Amino acid sequence: MNWIDTILQGVLLGGLYALFAAGLSLVFGIMRLVNLAHGDLIILAAYLILVIVSALGLNPFLAALVAMPVMFALGWLLQRVVLNRVLGNDILPPLLVTFGLSIVIQNALLQGFSADSQRIGAGALETASVDFGPVTLGVMPMLTFASAILVIVGLNQLFYRTAMGRAFRATSDDPVTASLMGIKPASVFAQATGIAMIVVTIAALYLGMRANFDPTIGPARLIYAFEAVIIGGLGSLWGTLAGGVIIGVAQTLGAAVNPEWQILAGHVAFLLVLLVRPRGLFPRAYD
Amino acid sequence: MALLQTRGLTARYGDSQALFGVDIALGQGETIAIIGANGAGKTTLLRTIAGVLRSDPGMVMFDGAEIGARPADEIMKLGIAMVPEGRKLFPSLSVEENLLIGAHGRKAAGPWNLDAVLDLFPVLKEKRAVPGTALSGGQQQMVAIGRALMSNPRVLLCDEISLGLAPVVIRDIYAAFPRIRAGGASVIVVEQDIGQAMKVASRVYCMMEGRVTLEGLPGDLSREAIHAAYFGAVA
Amino acid sequence: MAGDYRVHARTRAATVAGIVAVVLVIVGYALPAFAGRGLIQDLFFILTMLVLAQFWNLLAGYGGLVSVGQQAFVGLGAYGLFGAAILWGWDPVAALILSGVAALLVAIPTAFFAFRLAGAYFAIGTWVVAEVVRLSVAQWKAVGGGTGTSLPRDAVDGMRGLETVKTLFGASNAAARDILAYWLALTLAIATIGGIYALLRSKRGLALAAVRDNIEAARAVGVDAVRMKWIVFLTAAFGTGIAGGLIYLQKGRVSPDAAFAVTDWTAYVIFIVVIGGIGTIEGPIIGVLVFFALQSLFADYGTWYLMALGMIGIIVMLFAPRGLWGLFSDKTGVQLFPIRRRLTGGKIREE
């Protein structure tokens, strides 16, 4: 067994998990909302891309570009119509509403697409790989990882270099005072969820091209995403990438020992990090 | 006609009423002060004008239009900016960003911009990049005032800007007021420091238990009258 | 005079409800004498779901601990019982206590981890733990690994009390097992409701309400919030474990995917509590009846049915966050399990 190879595969897998997690982290960072339907929204986006690919005959990457505004609108509406109503000090309403949403999305997808597993065909890209001496890395995993880095760089630019990002951070700090600056918190939240859904679409693209998916696998993606966010420390996107990588490496190492231990190893790594660093690896100074 | 006027303003926090039919008026170019003891309803009055709290019943007239039912972000866009009690700087924004965000919802032409505000409070120049919350109390207050000025407001609401600051710092901050007025803003200051309020304002309202108990020009108000309006009739 | 005032939590509705409850309990125990096997099975389902719902309600509605990982304790209860019966030859009824103990033993480290996570992250944290437990149990080959196993024949047929039931009702083995399971479920439900009611009315219950309403203030008056959370979490785990053991004692067959199913043992349970009214003892009772009615009428519609359940849950949370019982109680003022203390008697004297 080639340990370097196993670890590198895990690092690249971590890129996918970071993509799952970035949207969750964004929404939590701005409105302290944990969306239990996040995983199901990723699967929904994957089906949307699949439908666009087969209906318009587009390349998956172009199809994802088409899906992005649709998902943005969906996220915006979801926040505006449903989730804004349940934000507040009581964490129960948003949790229960998003949990209900998760069940609705899963079953709507089962109804529409059956339980058969699907895949977004990416042609030669699926099997392409590059030799780096002792290790061979797939083009798709590398592309996923690069996209994760791009997404994080992009989100950080948005957060720290634009007026919109400034408004996001101000609203996250104190929505009432933000409203005195002419910011409408309800719109900021809707924009943030819309942007999170764009990230979700990118995550869905890679999820669907790399492996089979079916309507029921959303909750497991939510859990990986959540673990990456917690390991990284709430509010730190680079931390989220590190968290994704830790879960990814733990999973590939676990699978190398015994294929049945893949998922378990990821969870155990999460619990171990939580034991040693309860606030994650890169926690925010204040909260 | 007054630029800003309240009629029968009434506000509640849950079950307890905090304002009982408050009428005040602010003329164009005027600076008025609202004084009163803790719990008199001064802050509630400003928060209601700014749209953070809703008056029911009661009206807020601004420039001839009723704005009482509008949310805070819309009221700010009309040109009413607030320096909130406790300064309320955004901890995740730098000093410069805290100032810039003051103009987020309203980009009106006027004398105030980043350079002008830094010129008004030069001590902030070298602190532009540090987090707002890393400053001293007085400097934070300067950022909060500058932030409100960034939108070139027509009305500036200042809530307890001297609270918790040393007298010398308070003097520095109030020294900026002539320039703020010259910039075209009409000002309402809420103050517990009566002396400071008398100096800066052309008219004074005194509040007690959610009502206006006294109104007048600073020079006309006797010590006894203020004392009575402040603490009730029992002297 | 001090004697003029009385503080009490009793209401007239509660007195009536108490009498009705006693009658219901007597009828409940006597029911197998007249009822068919189908009804007994339905009631078994209702009663076990009610127990799960009461414990989840204790966690989330009173303790503020929104767990999405209660399936861990259902599964552990089931596997505790199966393990004891298969590996050590325990009587399955006696092994029910092991169901509770197994859940309790895992609940201790779970709480240790999950309590480090605040609010919403607690929810997913408990879910992760449940997944870890499911995946670990799937590695346990002695009880069938990932495919699961059945209770051994002799354990099922030699169950304590089974002979008595058979002679009492002249029932077949399978029917007698259902009756026995039903009686156990009825007893468990009564003990659960009675126990939670007693807890909430005790001094601990007041402390619990204080912690839920305002943790800082509660701390300020000397309530140990962390200790209350531990008590609630471990109690709920123990009770959920016993219910899990009982559910699979009746089914006779267990597999990790079924016993640790988040839909069956957490999503449905949350639905029941939310629909009925969270933070009340009455709520889960109403909720389980509504859930059972929906289930028997529409379960054949599969995905449409589940979609509708999710939608109903969302709508109730948005527009009637205190559930059906909350709506009813607000309109009528009726409380069957009054917990709030009310002051009556005496007159406020004008000075």
Strand pairing report for B59-62 and B31-36: unpaired
Nearest CA among B14, B13, B22 for reference residue B59 = B22
Question: Which 3 state secondary structure label does DSSP give C246?
Answer: helix
Average pLDDT, chain B: 89
Nearest CB partner across the interface for B101, out of A170, A172, A184? A170
Task: Give the pLDDT score at B235.
Answer: 44
Asked if the model's pLDDT at residue C225 lies above 50, the reply is: yes
Chain A 194-253, residues with CB within 8 Å of chain C CB atoms: 219, 222-223, 226-227, 230
CB of B105 less than 8 A from some CB of A: yes
| Interface predicted TM-score (ipTM) of this complex, two decimals | 0.92
Residue B183, phi-psi category: left (phi > 0), alpha (psi -120 to 50), beta (remainder): alpha
Residues A13 and A266: their CA atoms lie apart, in Å, by 12
Residues C192 and B71: their CA atoms lie apart, in Å, by 48
Q: B97 and A166 in contact by Cβ < 8 A?
A: yes
Task: Give the pLDDT score at A248.
Answer: 96
Angle between helices C323-332 and C282-298 (to 10 degrees): 130
Asked if the model's pLDDT at residue C72 lies above 80, the reply is: yes
User: How distant is the Cα of B11 from the closest Cα of chain A, in angstroms?
Assistant: 17
Chains with 3 or more CB pairs under 8 A to chain B: A
Name every chain A residue with its beta carbon within 8 A of the beta carbon of C110.
Answer: none
Q: How far is CA A40 from CA A5, A216, B142, B145, C212, in A?
A: 31, 8, 47, 46, 31
Spatial contact of C201 and C9, defined as CB atoms under 8 Å apart: yes
Chains with 3 or more CB pairs under 8 A to chain C: A
Nearest CB partner across the interface for A100, out of C68, C123, C313? C313
Q: C303 and A111 in contact by Cβ < 8 A?
A: yes
Nearest CB partner across the interface for C128, out of A104, A260, A270? A270
Q: Which domains does chain A have, with CATH numbers?
A: 3-109+137-276 (1.10.3470)
Q: Searching chain B, which residue's CA lies closest to the CA of residue A174?
A: B90
Structure tokens at C22: 């006693």
Q: What share of chain C has pLDDT > 70, as a percent?
A: 90
Name every chain A residue with its beta carbon within 8 A of the beta carbon of B97.
Answer: 166
Helix, strand counts (H, E) of chain B: 9, 10
Q: C68 and A227 in contact by Cβ < 8 A?
A: no
Asked if the model's pLDDT at residue C2 lies above 60, the reply is: no
**Which range, A247-256, B159-168, C8-17, C63-72, is most confident?**
A247-256
Spatial contact of C249 and C85, defined as CB atoms under 8 Å apart: no
Look up the domain containing C169 and give its range: 7-344
Spatial contact of A232 and A280, defined as CB atoms under 8 Å apart: yes
Name every chain A residue with its beta carbon within 8 A of the beta carbon of B104.
Answer: 163, 166-167, 170, 181-183
Residue type, A122: A
How many residue pairs bridge chain A and chain B with CB atoms within 8 Å of each other?
Answer: 66
Q: Searching chain C, which residue's CA lies closest to the CA of residue A224?
A: C128
User: How distant is the Cα of B52 from the closest Cα of chain A, in angstroms?
Assistant: 7
Task: Give the pLDDT score at C58.
Answer: 93
Lowest-confidence region among A194-208, B65-79, C201-215: C201-215
Q: Does residue C129 fall inside a structural domain? A: yes
pLDDT tens-digit series, residues C14-65: 788 788 888 888 888 888 888 888 899 999 999 999 999 999 999 998 888 8
Nearest CA among A185, A165, A197, A170 for reference residue A88 = A185
CB of C294 less than 8 A from some CB of A: no
Q: B76 and A179 in contact by Cβ < 8 A?
A: yes
Nearest CB partner across the interface for A100, out of C120, C127, C314? C314
N residues, chain C:
351
Task: Report which of residues B130 and B54 the model is more confident about.
Answer: B130
DSSP code of C70?
T
pTM equals 0.89
Nearest CA among C172, C226, C221, C228 for reference residue C204 = C228
Task: Give the pLDDT score at C8.
Answer: 62
What kind and span of H or E run contains C200? helix C173-201
Q: Does residue C349 fall inside a structural domain? A: no
Residue C345: pLDDT band by 50, 70, 90 thresholds?
Answer: low
Question: Which 3 state secondary structure label does DSSP give B107?
Answer: coil
Nearest CA among C73, C66, C83, C42 for reference residue C279 = C66
Instruction: B23-26: list long-range contacts, CB under 8 Å, 24+ apart.
Output: B23/B212, B24/B188, B24/B205, B24/B212, B26/B2, B26/B155, B26/B186, B26/B188
- Across B29-41, average pLDDT: 89
Asked if the model's pLDDT at residue B39 lies above 70, the reply is: yes
Angle between helices A262-276 and C92-114 (to 10 degrees): 50
Instruction: A167-170: list long-range contacts, CB under 8 Å, 24+ apart.
Output: A167/B101, A167/B104, A168/A30, A168/A192, A169/B90, A169/B92, A169/B93, A170/B90, A170/B92, A170/B93, A170/B101, A170/B104
Q: A167 and B104 in contact by Cβ < 8 A?
A: yes
Task: Give the pLDDT score at B140.
Answer: 94
Q: A267 and C139 in contact by Cβ < 8 A?
A: no
Residues B88 and A170: their CA atoms lie apart, in Å, by 11
Residues C319 and C312: their CA atoms lie apart, in Å, by 10
- Across C66-78, average pLDDT: 94
Angle between helices A185-210 and A163-173 (to 10 degrees): 110
Residues C203 and C218: their CA atoms lie apart, in Å, by 13
Structure tokens at A246: 């830790």
The distance from CA B105 to its chain's CA centroid, rounded to whole angstroms, is 18
Task: Give the pLDDT score at C64.
Answer: 83
Name every chain A residue with its beta carbon within 8 A of the beta carbon of B72.
Answer: 176, 179-180
Spatial contact of A245 and A11, defined as CB atoms under 8 Å apart: yes
Name every chain B residue with its beta carbon within 8 A of the beta carbon of A178.
Answer: 90
Nearest CB partner across the interface for B106, out of A177, A182, A286? A182
Nearest CA among C110, C57, C63 for reference residue C218 = C63
What kind and span of H or E run contains C122? helix C119-137
Name every chain B residue with its beta carbon within 8 A of the beta carbon of A163.
Answer: 100, 104
Strand pairing report for B80-83 and B65-66: unpaired
**CA torsion sign, C213 to C217 to C222 to C227?**
positive
Q: Do chains C and B touch (3 or more CB pairs under 8 A)?
A: no
Instruction: A147-151: list long-range contacts, CB under 8 Å, 24+ apart.
Output: A147/A15, A147/A19, A147/A202, A147/A206, A148/A15, A148/A16, A148/A18, A148/A19, A148/A22, A148/A241, A148/A244, A149/A15, A149/A241, A151/A18, A151/A19, A151/A22, A151/A199, A151/A202
Task: Give the pLDDT score at A12.
Answer: 95
Nearest CA among A48, A137, A102 for reference residue A223 = A102
CATH of the domain at C259: 1.10.3470
Instruction: B122-130: list long-range contacts, CB under 8 Å, 24+ apart.
Output: B124/B95, B124/B99, B127/B95, B128/B94, B128/B95, B128/B96, B129/B94, B129/B95, B129/B96, B130/B94, B130/B95
* pLDDT tens over chain A, length 287 residues: 588 889 999 999 999 999 999 999 999 888 888 899 999 999 999 999 999 999 999 999 999 999 999 999 999 999 999 999 998 877 788 888 999 999 999 999 999 999 999 999 888 888 888 988 888 889 999 999 999 999 999 999 999 999 999 999 999 999 999 999 999 999 999 999 999 999 999 999 999 999 999 999 999 999 999 999 989 887 788 999 999 999 999 999 999 999 889 999 999 999 898 888 878 888 765 54
N residues, chain A:
287
- Across C123-132, average pLDDT: 90
- Across B158-187, average pLDDT: 91
Residues C342 and C331: their CA atoms lie apart, in Å, by 19
pLDDT tens-digit series, residues C284-315: 999 999 999 998 888 888 889 999 999 999 99
User: How distant is the Cα of C203 from the closest Cα of chain A, in angstroms?
Assistant: 24
Looking at domain B4-231, its CATH superfamily turns out to be P-loop containing nucleotide triphosphate hydrolases (3.40.50.300)
Task: Give the pLDDT score at C214.
Answer: 67
Nearest CB partner across the interface for C60, out of A92, A226, A264? A92
Task: Give the pLDDT score at C1.
Answer: 44
How many residue pairs bridge chain A and chain C with CB atoms within 8 Å of each other?
Answer: 113
Nearest CB partner across the interface for A183, out of B88, B93, B105? B105
Interface of chain A toward chain B, CB-CB under 8 angstroms:
163, 166-167, 169-170, 172-174, 176-184, 286
Domain-wise residue ranges, chain B? 4-231
Lowest-confidence region among A229-243, B58-72, C204-218: C204-218
Q: How far is CA C99 from CA A6, B93, C234, C260, in A?
A: 40, 53, 13, 14
Q: Does residue C2 fall inside a structural domain? A: no
Q: Does residue C1 fall inside a structural domain? A: no
The count of structural domains within chain C is 1
N residues, chain B:
235
Asked if the model's pLDDT at residue C96 lies above 60, the reply is: yes
Q: A166 and B147 in contact by Cβ < 8 A?
A: no
